[in-house]
Structure 1
Amino acid sequence: MSTGVDRINRGVLALLGVLFLAAGAAGLALSLGAFGTGLVDTPVVPDTVRAFAAETPWFWWAAAAVCLLVALLAVRWLLVQLRTSTVSRLDLTTDPRDGITTLHTSALTSAVEDAATAIRGVHGANARLHDQHGDRLHLAVDLTEHADIADVRAELETRLVPDLRRAAGADLPVDIDLHPGRARSATRALR
């Protein structure tokens, strides 16, 4: 999910949270007599609205339809939040008449992680294939404390990425994040 959508989700949820918190606090203060004792026994729904609801048979059907619509929109929003852009299979088919070739991305990412971890100065690696306007591999590499960043970068760019593209049979875009000294900070945190 993009950072723009994440920001909007956080903003809307924070706004709704503040509104519901304010409404709950106002209702609690009203019931405890903070706004005067005359309002304590006042019903939440005015008499005219209650009378309209009682006299109009379609009112509760309309209210149920609105509640159902809100529930369906909430479920749809929740499903969108749970969806990730991670790809599970990579289609390598060049000509469907010759057959279909797919590659499980877990096999590809495991091989990339193993190859990256074998490079001197690399403590760990994490690879994920995402579908953001086309397939794209993201490789996060944790370096040791004394790793030569230039050597690791050159090894990744001249050996690992070309081997990956050759294996995938495509000019797959690769984003590489180098995290210097992360292994040292993780070791200190464990002590």
Structure 2
Amino acid sequence: MSRTAVNRTLLALVGLVLLAGGLLLLAGGLDLNHRWHLGLPSDWTVTDPHHAVLDPADRVRWRGDGWWWPSVFAALGVVALLSLWWLLAQLRTGTADRVAVPAAADVPVRLRGGALAQAVADGAEQIPGVSRARVRILGRARRPRARITLTLAPGAAPGPVLHELAAGPLGDARRTTGVSLPAEARVRVESGSVPRVQ
């Protein structure tokens, strides 16, 4: 399962749990269990609008223990930080801002991912039969990969174009930077988008 699929599955599960909890609290607050005869257990305090979620005994049970409230707040803080980290991870585009270029000297050399993408795109658009090329450099600085979308002119054959792409712009980028740069090319034709892996 890919990282995107895992993220979507986890987000869906968290969303369903939060939605179910919210609907349960809403039903209790509006007394929908009695009005609409939902059949929720009557001993659930969340189903009665006149009761708090925690009864008084539960609220004061751990008051005498000095470790209880610090533990609760620490756990909530960890959950909040993990949630924030997860949110920021979802907002990342996956685009590599920098590409680490192997150098003979000890000084690290980094190339802008956008510049490398533009160079490959410019070279791809010079291939006969290609009317437009869009390139994104994804992954990490030390393990970048290219995602290329080619739009072919009418009548152009994808096979020769992909061969020329691998030998030309991609080969030039690999030789110039010294990076293996695996690539995935998507060729747009009239019938849709057909993925091709180089």
Query: For 1:9, what is the secondary structure of its paired residue?
Result: helix
Which one of the candidate residues 13, 33, 36 is aligned to 1:35?
Answer: 33
Task: State, as a whole percentage, how many aligned pairs show the same letter.
Answer: 30
CA RMSD of aligned residues (A): 3.0
Residue 129 (structure 1) shift: 2.3
Bigger share in helix: 1
- CA distance change for structure 1 residues 147 and 22 in 2, over 3 Å: closer, same or farther? same
Q: Is the 8 A contact 2:101 2:111 kept in 1?
A: yes
2:82 alignment partner in structure 1: 73
Query: What 5-or-longer segments of structure 2 have no aligned partner?
Result: 36-41, 43-47, 193-198
Residue 164 (structure 1) shift: 2.6
- CA distance change for structure 1 residues 84 and 162 in 2, over 3 Å: closer, same or farther? same
Q: Is the 8 A contact 1:142 1:181 kept in 2?
A: no
2:129 alignment partner in structure 1: 121
Q: Is the 8 A contact 1:144 1:182 kept in 2?
A: no
- CA distance change for structure 1 residues 42 and 4 in 2, over 3 Å: closer, same or farther? same
| 1:95 aligned onto 2:95 | no
Query: For 2:133, what is the secondary structure of its paired residue?
Result: strand
Q: Is the 8 A contact 2:95 2:138 kept in 1?
A: yes
Give the structure-2-normalised TM-score. 0.73
1:24 alignment partner in structure 2: 22
- 1:119 partner letter: I
2:173 alignment partner in structure 1: 164
Which one of the candidate residues 50, 60, 63 is aligned to 1:51?
Answer: 60
2:13 alignment partner in structure 1: 15
Q: State how many pairs are aligned.
A: 180
| 1:110 aligned onto 2:108 | no
Query: What 5-or-longer segments of structure 1 have no aligned partner?
Result: 184-191
| 1:154 aligned onto 2:188 | no
